[in-house]
Amino acid sequence: MIAPWLVMLGGFFGAVARYTVSRWFARCMPHVPFGTLFVNLLGSFLLGWLAGSGAANAEKLLIGTGFMGAFTTFSTLKWESVQMMQKKQWEKSLAYLAVTYSFGIWLAWLGYQFGRS
């Protein structure tokens, strides 16, 4: 019965953290979606670390499902990519997607390795 509360609590803080980070990056670099890129790559690493750490189920629900689920954002990544494509910024869009996916997978693996050690 406590599991939904852990996810909700983690999700609240993850959403606030994502908003804060995204706003900061948007002020510093308004023409490139670095905020989304940063939260997705950091989230990949941290989720990999959590998975490899042997954390208890409650910690996985609070941090992994709740916080990281709200901190990272698949839908914003896709929307920003579509916006770049609509502006015919093909190279920028392709680079954004390639960096997000390739580095995201690599960072999740790296985080898992750190978590295991």
- Counting every residue written for the chain, the total comes to 117
Residue 52 corresponds to which tokens in the numbers above? 């490899």
- Strand, coil or helix: what is 55? coil
Residue 47 corresponds to which tokens in the numbers above? 């989720």
CB burial class (10 A; 0-12, 13-18, 19+) of residue 76?
Answer: middle
- Find out whether 20 is annotated in a ligand binding site: no
- Find out whether 72 is annotated in a ligand binding site: yes
Cα 85–chain centre separation: 22
Known binding-site residues equal 69, 72
Known binding-site residues for Na(+) equal 69, 72
